[in-house]
Amino acid sequence: MILTVNLNPAVDRTCRLPVLEPGAVNRLSMAESVAGGKAVNVAKVLRRFRMPVAAVGFLGGSGGMLIGEALEKIGVECHFTQIGQETRINTNILEENGRVTEVLEPGPEISEKELEQFLKQFAGCLESCELTVMSGSLPRGVPVDIYARLIGLCHMAGSRVILDASGEALLHGVQAGPELVKPNRRELEYLAGRPLESAEEIAGAARRLLAAGVGKVIVSLGGDGLLYADSERTVLKEAKSVQVMNTVGCGDTVVAALCMSELAGEDVETALAKAVAMAAANAATPENGCFSMDTYLELL
């Protein structure tokens, strides 16, 4: 079983229009709301491949109900903590030229009682989960070292961890030694404390994470592909070229691909090939984490 940690899930509202004009009235050609957030997207992709998935985190209000029902419908085992405030809504504005504008809400305020209940749910799920995915931002009221605390609990229970976070949550999380970390370039620059101008500098920053106790590092570089680093090698895997419809969720698709490769014990080249093909298939599809399997297999 793979456990996904959804601390700040969201209803993803995708809006399409020819051109976004700031300061003017914009009329949408299409609008659709689906279950979203980084860990939710990971779970959606994993279920496309019939992987057993459980989900923990916080859900509240009508948005939370939408997410919970959507995950249960695709076969995710849900153990969410219900909260008093509303789950957030994230709006993705897609223009015909491929440009994407994201408007993200901060999320609800989590009470101490709700956090305590979540920790009990999380500990109970670890008994049956060999791999745990921690993805996304933190809602208000959740301490910035939460991922580090959860990683410690995972290691005590014998569960491996993939971490995909940003800011202070990522900074604290990497110090707990997760088995795999997937920052993007901007997130890696945050950890490095400076801009990373070249592939060599990016690889150097990744190797410093390895020296700090992280098992593997995979840096998502958008259209430039993925950079992989472990104690033995550094590999740059080029991205697949597709007609881009929506880049939101591509990193989450990479995480899902890595989950499956980790559990299958696949070699690095196979894992990276699957990851870049899956991310490209996602980019060629309007909905986050929902791509054509035929497109994926063709790219692979």
- Establish if 300 belongs to a structural domain: no
Question: At residue 287, does pLDDT exceed 80?
Answer: no
- Establish if 293 belongs to a structural domain: no
Range with the lowest mean pLDDT among 64-68, 82-86, 284-288? 284-288
- Establish if 24 belongs to a structural domain: no
pLDDT value of position 261 = 96
pLDDT value of position 75 = 97
Question: At residue 245, does pLDDT exceed 90?
Answer: no
For residue 128, CA distances in Å to 131, 162, 176 come to 9, 17, 22
Contact of 226 with 183, CB cutoff 8 Å: no
pLDDT value of position 289 = 72
Q: Could you give the number of structural domains in the chain? A: 1
- Establish if 294 belongs to a structural domain: no
Mean pLDDT computed over every residue of the chain: 93
**CATH code, domain carrying 262:** 3.40.1190.20
- Establish if 55 belongs to a structural domain: yes
- Catalytic site includes residue 252: yes
- Cα separation of 290 and 41, whole Å? 8
CB contact set of 66 (below 8 Å; sequence gap of 6+):
11, 33, 35
- Establish if 8 belongs to a structural domain: yes
- What does the pLDDT average to over 254-258? 96
- Cα separation of 138 and 6, whole Å? 9
State which residues form the domain around 215: 2-19+30-287
- Establish if 292 belongs to a structural domain: no
pLDDT value of position 59 = 98
* pLDDT category of residue 241 using cuts at 50, 70 and 90: confident
- Establish if 25 belongs to a structural domain: no
Catalytic one among 145, 252, 267, 294? 252
Question: At residue 77, does pLDDT exceed 80?
Answer: yes
pLDDT in tens, 138-162: 999 999 999 999 999 999 999 999 9
Question: At residue 244, does pLDDT exceed 90?
Answer: no
pLDDT value of position 105 = 87
Residue closest to 166 by CA, chosen among 31, 3, 8: 8
Contact of 248 with 285, CB cutoff 8 Å: no
CB contact set of 260 (below 8 Å; sequence gap of 6+):
46, 49, 51, 274
